[in-house]
Amino acid sequence: MTETQSSSASLRRLVPRIFSKAQPAGAVDRLVRTARLHHPKADLAVIERAYVVAERAHRGQKRQSGEPYITHPVAVAQILADLGIGPKTLAAALLHDTVEDTDYGLDELRAEFGDEVAMLVDGVTKLDKVKYGESAQAETVRKMIVAMSKDIRVLVIKLADRLHNARTWGFVPAEKAAKKATETLEIYAPLAHRLGIQTIKWELEDLSFAVLYPKLYAEIESLVKQRTPQREELVQTVIDSVNEDLKAAKIRGKVVGRPKQYYSIYQKMIVRGRDFDEIYDLVGIRVLVNSVRDCYAVLGAIHARWTPIPGRFKDYIATPKYNLYQSLHTTVIGPQGKSVEIQIRTHEMHQHAEYGVAAHWKYKENVNGGKGASKATENDMVWLAHISDWQAETSDPGEFLDSLRFEIGAKEVYVFTPKGRVIGLPAGATPVDFAYAVHTEVGHRTMGAKVNGRLVPLESELNSGDVVEVFTSKNPDSGPSQDWLSFVKSTRARNKIRQWFTKERRDEAIEQGKDAIARAMRKQNLPLQKLMSQDTFAEVAAQMRYEDVSALYAAVGEGHISTQSVLEKVAALLQGDNEAEQAAIDFPVRGRTRSVTHSDSGVLVRGAPDILVKLSKCCTPVPGDDIVGFVTRGSGVSVHRSDCHNVQELLKEPERMIDVEWAPSSKSLFLVHIQVEALDRAGLLSDVTRVLSEHHVNILSATVSTSNNRLAISRFVFEMGDTTHLERVLNAVRRIDAVYDVYRVNGG
């Protein structure tokens, strides 16, 4: 026996569920009967026509189990029929593989079955055709979400297709089955959960679990069976007691026990570290009644009979989950002191809980020929639009997949806007996540927040039931903060913040860099148009390891490199390419080396070669300031701002004064002292240092003092290589909330 045969035999022994064979003869009749049960007035002829076409198209094809291929689309359609989905979608399910696997074309299908069925089949076909090498999984999911956002039924068909394939994983090689099972657990089961189709979600999880961990699966199954008699006895006791309460309250209802899902038990044992007996004692009971009022009446009766466990009550009727789910959940100390979990819901809520979004199509296809869809479907599925948005914004397939896994698997909190609108957010979300959920521009301009009427920091964690209000800046230039990325939880907020920095800031930096270079070239009388029209700057960008000229301009605009260093590269390039042309171009810095000397201080001293030059710390001059030089005793030339308070004293010795001028090089660094005046608030220092860092300022020291009247005075000392954008840095600090002035000061 080969290794593959041995593995298959072992799986067959441990997990017979994944070796499902075709349904007996009459499967199509059963399909039609199920459809008629849910849609008694619908024309079901389209289902029979679709079966005839599919059977003819797939004739002669076999599945890996050896069955005729037609058994697969029939089984997929039956899964959907059990969910209550309408005839057109069932027809599309029967035909979903014809366009991809047979000679039956899409145009032919459209002519025979209409645009709607053709659109659904085409959507499923596109999902199946996508193959992208190592990024296949991420890209497949990306395409799936795009298709799903156009018509949700495409995904529902795909989920049913995956479910039937999962039931027959026993017939495919073990390695391939394991890969498919992993993909199903990570992508398809969470999506089924997100859509509220619990019946598909549970079976997908159990089948995937069975393939990936067959021995664990078999062991849990065995443990469940061993305890079935005791469990059934306890369940019956609880059911009888609840039925007594219903009768006493004159409420018509149905009480049933809920079977435990094997994968759920495994998750609680492994992930939460619980003992099997501890899990199994948590018996599940479901009560189905006719109205919302009855739900709360039953809850009161149950709490009167048994003591509820604190913290275990959840009201999903008043605050539904993102996927339509509504129910009352409570856990009580039941008979024999055992914990009993009870779910109370109406019959309609139960339909939505089991079949989720699929339940909507039951009505959509059946009312007024498909024109009677309620707007509830669109509102309940708003998250689809969000996923579609961020899949378009995320270029890296791996990053998209990580985001999707988080988005569809995350637990949620539910908060309210001041007007009472419910916003669903990931657990641990902050007011910034809330702001971006309301609107992108609200997120970008957020400057503060109130939770339940109290001011809170933007990184505060929100809890279900909080009322959140955000304050926005009226400044049109305001934008998000880089450090928000360290605490936001939602994929939407993270992507919108990144998008803002990569697009808006880059465009602004490119323009500023281009203007700075143009100004510097005009100042040095360089042939601006001639150089711009040539490929000179493209070569300089390549030398400095930038992608293109735009990246070079952006680097200058953001202060990563100085304009002077770019012009020096241009000069060197032109000198190497054309000596004669270079002789005609005067670069002032290079043309003065015989009469003056400059050091990394960025200052030239006339008539004093090789003399040491120092920038005074009392006034920290920078390029652009009016400066004077003073010959010190033994320490070279000291350079001061002309308005420095020490200059008046120096002028008493005019013979020691000397002419100096600015000539910064690419290696020059200058000290800058600034003072920031603001109304004191939490996070002020953090915001100022963040803005300085974003502008590539190297902070050397910072001092902060706060007066009794809440006035905060901050002083910063930092280094800058290119001081031409100093004013831009100061303007950026001025735009910080609560800052009302910022200016340079003497360094004394």
Q: Distance between CA 138 and CA 118 in Å, rounded?
A: 26
In sequence order, what DSSP letters do the residues of 611-648 get, joined into one string?
--EEE-TTT---TTS-EEEEE-SSS-EEEEETT-TTHH
Q: List, in sequence order, every residue forming a beta bridge with 614; answer none if it has no partner.
A: 638
Asked if 539 is an active-site residue, the reply is no
From 48, 55, 67, 100, active-site residue: 100
CB 623 within 8 Å of CB 670? yes
Q: Which 8-state DSSP code applies to residue 24? A: P
Q: Distance between CA 200 and CA 119 in Å, rounded?
A: 23
Q: Are strands 339-346 and 283-289 parallel, antiparallel or unpaired?
A: parallel
Tokens of 246: 């219903």
Determine the 3-state secondary structure of 309 from DSSP. Answer: coil
Determine the 3-state secondary structure of 673 from DSSP. Answer: strand
CB 688 within 8 Å of CB 676? yes
Tokens of 190: 């969470």
The helix-helix angle for 87-95 and 27-38 (nearest 10°) equals 150
From 48, 55, 67, 101, active-site residue: 101
CA–CA–CA angle 377, 378, 380 (5° rounding): 65
Tokens of 44: 């079901």
Three-state DSSP string of 690-744: HHHHHCCCEEEEEEEEECCCCEEEEEEEEEECCHHHHHHHHHHHHCCCCEEEEEE
Backbone phi and psi for residue 635, each to the nearest 5 degrees, phi listed first: -125, 25
Residue 182 class from Cβ within 10 Å (0-12 exposed, 13-18 middle, 19+ buried)?
Answer: middle
**Long-range CB contacts for residues 203-206, cutoff 8 Å, separation at least 24:** 203/163, 203/166, 204/159, 204/162, 204/163, 204/166, 205/261, 205/263, 205/264, 206/17, 206/261, 206/262, 206/263
Tokens of 474: 């009226």
Q: List, in sequence order, every residue forming a beta bridge with 741; answer none if it has no partner.
A: 677
Q: Distance between CA 207 and CA 185 in Å, rounded?
A: 9
Q: Distance between CA 524 and CA 532 in Å, rounded?
A: 15
Residues 6+ apart with CB under 8 A from 166: 18, 180, 181, 184, 203, 204, 207, 208, 211
Q: Distance between CA 313 and CA 344 in Å, rounded?
A: 11
The helix-helix angle for 431-438 and 491-499 (nearest 10°) equals 80
Asked if 100 is an active-site residue, the reply is yes
Query: How far from 386 is each of 523, 629, 663, CA to CA, in Å?
Result: 50, 62, 53
Q: Which of 426, 425, 418, 416 is nearest to 471 (CA)?
A: 418
- State which amino acid sits at residue 714: S
Hunting for tokens 């909080």 — which residue is that?
466
CA dihedral 297, 299, 302, 303 (to 10 degrees): -110
Q: Which of 400, 395, 431, 398 is nearest to 416 (CA)?
A: 431
* Helical segments of 356-482, H only: 358-364, 375-380, 382-393, 397-409, 431-438, 440-444
CB 193 within 8 Å of CB 87? no
Tokens of 191: 């999506």
Residues serving a catalytic function are: 100-101
